[in-house]
Amino acid sequence: MSKLKYESPVIKKMNAGLMNKFGTRTEYQPLKHIDGVAVKDMIAKYGSPLFVLSERKMRNNYQAALRAFKTRYPKVQFAWSYKTHYNNAVCNVYHQEGSWAEVVSGFEYQKALKNGVPGNKIIFNGPDKSIDELNEAIKNDSLIHIDHFDELYTLIELSEKAVKKPRVAIRVNMDTGIYPLWDRFGFNYENGTAWNAITKIVASGKLNLVGLHCHIGTYMLAPWAYATAASKLCDLAWHAKNQLNNPVQYIDLGGGFPSANTLKGAYLPGSDTVPHIEEFAEAIASTIIAYGFKPDELPLLILESGRALIDDAGYLLGTILANKRLSDGRRATILDFGVNMLFTSFWYDHKISPAQDFTHHSEDQVLYGPLCMNIDVIRESVNLPLLNKGDQVVVHKVGAYNMTQWMQFIAMRPNVIMIDMKGETHLIRQKETLQYLEMPEEMPLHLKEFKL
Amino acid sequence: MKLKKNIATSESGFVFNPSSGDSFSLNIIGAEILLQMKESKSSDEIKKDILNRYEVDKSLLEKDWDDFMAQLKDNNLLEF
């Protein structure tokens, strides 16, 4: 006779009083499969912890976002935000869908070129572009988004020797009614600096002003802020055309669209509060169309969305290492992944599901990572079923920023796999090894030997 | 470890402490342990029974046992 399934014994005091309006449970279903592939099989094959990306979800997200904008505005182009996730396999999913590349550093620029993105379809953003990087971007006819006057004057100097006239845009910062105001990037709209930069570019005759760019923030929850931003960029474009006779070809509204993750301290879960991408599309497209451009003079609308296109396509699978009880009686669960791998747990209360069946008993608990650091907390308080050592869990919506901001600290970075459209798994980044870690290290001769 | 004499327990896992008025709910294993404690079985007897019938190894049960007893003590259900 087979034995009964065991669960740790638990006792819970019943409190009389008001019902919790959010219910008493946070998780009702185990997540045993992702895109039809069993979680336990993936962990058995690739180890734990393990990042899993769904190609299907990425493509669906992209197509839904493109449809949201294209049904409202005639000329739309997405540019994949490399900093959000620059694994080449991931980038190529979006390039296959038609995305250009949006990069903020020299190595991201090289990655985009190596991935096969034509130079003239790479947008080069950010405050740090070296002389060599700028020269290469000019040679490749890339779209250089100028961040500050020092860069503007450098480009004018470089253009003297360049064969091609650099194609540039300026990044504009502005008050859109939201806090914080990201005025550290680009030129300010309200105080006239942006207009000043535009006139300097046009007057120089050395640079080709082709676009205007802004990026008003991150995880933005206010579609109307994008309407304000679009209106201010349209105002600059309008004046550039009418006063300087320099019509711009595109307006780039950047990214910052949220995913459905729940921000720490939020009263309601992200899935209930985050506006749909359609609402952002409506705010932006209707503002530009209503501004007054002739139909054949409408600028191309560029979007650099990253998080909204990939966050919910990423999962982190992990295993319970241990349970313990803290001094105040709270249950603590130790996982085999920590903040070193799940950087976004500093910002989000990630949804976490058990990957196997469980009973209806649950307990409030703290989820810790395996690092010897007090800050290694994945969830300060979460109501989860009782998980035993060796049980597996799935963290949801981890596709954005984790696999670029992760830290090699105490533990090595784990395998990353992608599930393709047919349900096949592919290793897209191998887990790190000691050999990989020590590859760039050098040992001075006098330190090679010691006696203890 | 002995359960206080006046504690009322049910097979479904409901526990009532008449001296404090507190009520508790237990999961299946918790309920089984408490019922057997009420029958004055020794801790070794109870553990042996659970090991025989449930898919659990001795070390995990031992750890969980200590944790459960600490929870019962915290909730003022054990005799000193």
List the 346-375 stretch of A: residues with Cβ below 8 A of B. Answer: 359, 361
Query: Is residue A46 domain-shared with residue A130, that is, in the same domain?
Result: no
Residue of B nearest to A322 (CA): B60
- Which letter does DSSP use for residue A409 in this model? B
CB contact under 8 A, B55 and A11: no
Residues A407 and A343 sit within 8 Å (Cβ to Cβ): yes
Q: Among A386, A391, A234, which Cα is nearest to A299's?
A: A234
- What is the end-to-end Cα distance of chain A in Å, rounded? 58
pTM of the predicted structure, to 2 decimals:
0.89
Distance (Å, rounded) from C-alpha A330 to C-alpha A324? 9
A397 dihedral zone (left: phi>0; alpha: psi -120 to 50; beta): left
pLDDT digits (tens, 9 = 90+) for A208-251: 999 999 999 888 889 999 999 999 999 999 999 999 999 999 99
Burial state string for A405-436 with b = 16 or more CB within 10 A and e = fewer than 16: ebeeeebebbbbbbbeeeeebeebbebeeeee
* Helical axes B58-74 vs B43-53, angle rounded to 10°: 130
C-alpha B13/C-alpha B17 separation (Å) is 13
The interface predicted TM-score (ipTM) is: 0.94
For chain A, give percent helix, strand, coil, nearest 5.
35, 25, 45
Please answer yes or no on whether B67 and A325 come within 8 Å at the CB atom: yes
How far is the alpha carbon of B63 from chain A, nearest alpha carbon, in Å?
9
Domain ranges of chain B: 8-74
Counted domains in chain A: 2
User: Who's near A198: CB < 8 A, 6+ residues apart?
Assistant: A170, A209, A236, A240, A244, A246
Sorting pLDDT into bands at 50, 70 and 90, what band is A144?
very high
Backbone angles phi, psi at A123, to 5 degrees: -100, 125
Count the alpha carbons within 13 Å of A157 in the hemisphere toward its beta carbon.
Answer: 8
Q: Number of residue pairs across A and B with CB atoms under 8 Å?
A: 68
Cα separations (Å) of A181 from A117, A178, A212, A444? 32, 7, 18, 48
* Residues 225-244 of chain A whose Cβ lies under 8 A from any Cβ of chain B: none
Given pLDDT bands bounded at 50, 70 and 90, which one contains residue A101? very high
Res A181: pLDDT: 83
With a pLDDT cut of 70, the percent of chain A lying above it is 97
Q: Is residue A442 part of a domain?
A: no
Residues A169 and A263 both lie in one domain: yes
Per-residue pLDDT band at A18 (split at 50, 70, 90): low
The predicted structure's pLDDT at residue B4: 87
Indicate whether A444 belongs to any domain.
no
pLDDT reading at B52 higher than 90: yes
* Better-predicted residue by pLDDT, A338 or A267: A338
- Give me chain A's average pLDDT, please: 93
Is the pLDDT assigned to residue A24 strictly greater than 60? no
The type of residue at A281 is: A
Contact check, Cβ <8 Å, B71/A5: no
CB A164 within 8 A of CB A139: yes
The shortest C-alpha distance from B3 to chain A (Å) reads: 14
pLDDT, tens only, A34-59: 999 999 999 999 999 999 999 999 99
Which chain B residue's Cα is nearest to A361? B27
User: A344 with A388, same domain?
Assistant: yes
Last residue of a domain, one of A251, A276, A310: A310
Does the beta carbon of A4 lie under 8 angstroms from any beta carbon of chain B? yes
Q: Please name which of A14, A318, A28, A363 lies closest in space to residue B64, comparing C-alpha atoms.
A: A363
CA distance A277 to A3: 50
Closest residue on chain B to A4 (Cα): B54
* CATH label of the domain that carries residue A408: 2.40.37.10
A253 falls within a domain:
yes
Nearest CA in chain A to B56: A6
Same domain, A306 and A316: no
At A23, the pLDDT band (50, 70, 90 cuts) reads low
Give the pLDDT mean for A316-328.
93
Burial (0-12, 13-18, 19+ Cβ within 10 Å), A385: buried
Domain that holds residue A418: 33-52+312-433
Q: Write the DSSP assignment of B24-69 as a string of letters.
A: EEE-HHHHHHHHHHHTT--HHHHHHHHHHHBS--HHHHHHHHHHHH
Is pLDDT at A28 greater than 80 in this prediction? no
A144 in any annotated domain: yes
Q: Are A210 and A108 part of one and the same domain? A: yes
User: Is the domain of A216 the same as that of A91?
Assistant: yes
Contact A10 B55 (CB under 8 A): no
Q: Between chains, do B27 and A6 touch, taking CB under 8 Å as contact? A: no
Contact A216, A269 (CB under 8 A): no
Select the residue of B15, B29, B77 nearest A9 (Cβ to Cβ). Answer: B29
Q: Hunting for tokens 């182009």 — which residue is that?
A: A77
C-alpha span between A30 and A396 (Å, rounded): 12
Question: Best mutation site among A6, A7, A320, A331 for testing chain B: the one with the most B CBs within 10 Å?
Answer: A6
Is there a contact between B29 and A5 if contact means CB atoms under 8 Å apart?
no
Residues A148-184: tens digit of each pLDDT:
999 999 999 999 988 899 999 999 999 988 888 888 8
Overall average pLDDT of the A296-304 stretch: 96
Question: Which residue in chain A is spatially nearest to B76 when comparing CA positions?
Answer: A13
Picking from A290, A310, A330, the residue at the C-terminal end of a domain is: A310
Looking at residue B47, what is its pLDDT?
A: 95
In a domain, A264, yes or no: yes
Alpha-carbon distance of A329 to A366, in angstroms, equals: 11
Each residue's pLDDT tens digit, B31-46 = 999 999 988 899 999 9
Chain B residues within 8 A of A391 when measuring between CB atoms: none
Distance in angstroms (rounded) separating the CA atoms of residues A77 and A69: 9
- CATH number for the domain including A297? 3.20.20.10
In terms of domains, do A173 and A187 share one?
A: yes
The answer on A166 and A92 residing in a single domain is: yes
Considering the domain boundaries, does residue A401 fall inside one? Answer: yes
Q: What is the dihedral of CA A124, A130, A135, A141, to 10 degrees?
A: 0
Chain A interface, mutation test: which of B55, B64, B78, most A Cβ atoms within 10 Å? Answer: B64
Across the interface, whether the CB atoms of A7 and B23 are under 8 A apart is answered no
